[in-house]
Amino acid sequence: SGDDVRYTRVMLKISGEALMGDQGFGLHPPTVERIAREIQSVHALGVEICLVIGGGNIFRGLQGSAQGMERTTADYMGMLATVMNALAMQGALESLGVYTRVISAITMNEVAEPYIRRRAIRHLEKKRVCIFAAGTGNPYFTTDTAATLRASEMDCEAIFKGTKVDGVYDKDPAKHADAKRYESVTYDEVLAQHLGVMDASAIALARENDLPIIVFSLDEPGGFRTILSGKGTFTRVH
């Protein structure tokens, strides 16, 4: 049962790469659908859900600029990539009967709503999943910062960061058999030890707003729901 879920409004942040499945690039519709089901199972408990999806499966500003593009142009392309991912997730969620809104930080009225804070809050109250697209709308930022910003604005209780591993480790668990997972870690420790949770500006903003970040594995079936019940393995950044 969902009785043990203590959250009423949460932010889920996933990278664009989470949507590409085993492909090296782009969108893998069965994977998008699998994650949509994870979201559906939490939505069914009545939890209000904000969602931010990255764009790294399609385009990253830093990669473009390393190849000679102007950084800001490359970053806008990265933001546009997140809109594609948002639309894919919207389609998957709606086909499962979950009502959604895509809300873009860059106005493009034909495909998404503009971001208006009070309107987004109203959508959440009506149990529509709000998919925040186009990052913060500014170059030089990431979707981790966008997730932290929107979570603060929407008054979310926590940010759930779905990754490939079940938390934050002292070193890369894929490379080191003796890597240790933290049960909990402070913002300052993440910053000082350069733990790869989120980029520094996102961590600083979360610290400023006392917004806990819960890092968990999205590969675990039913993982999102389990974590919302406070079970399973995860790392709490606070």
Give the residue numbers of the binding site for ATP.
13-16, 56, 60, 163, 169, 172
Annotated binding site: 13-16, 55-56, 60, 75, 136-143, 163, 169, 172
- Return the HEC string of 98-146: CCEEEEECCCCCCCCEECCHHHHHHHHHCCCEEEEECCCCCCCCCHHHH
Q: Which is nearer to ligand UDP, 82 or 217 (CB)?
A: 82
Contact residue for ligand UDP among 135, 162, 167, 223 (CB under 6 A): 135
d(CA 38, CA 208): 30
Give the Å distances, CA to CA, from 186 to 149, 168, 193: 19, 11, 11
Whether the CB-CB separation of 106 and 137 falls below 8 Å is answered with yes
Contact residue for ligand UDP among 136, 148, 163, 235 (CB under 6 A): 136
Helix (H) or strand (E) holding 235, with range, is strand 235-237
> Within 29-88, which residues bind ligand UDP (CB under 6 A)?
54-56, 60-62, 74-75, 78-79, 81-82
Whether the CB-CB separation of 180 and 123 falls below 8 Å is answered with no
Binding status of residue 141 toward ligand UDP by CB under 6 A? yes
Binding status of residue 148 toward ligand UDP by CB under 6 A? no
Binding status of residue 223 toward ligand UDP by CB under 6 A? no
Binding site for ligand UDP (CB under 6 A): 15-17, 54-56, 60-62, 74-75, 78-79, 81-82, 135-136, 138-139, 141-146
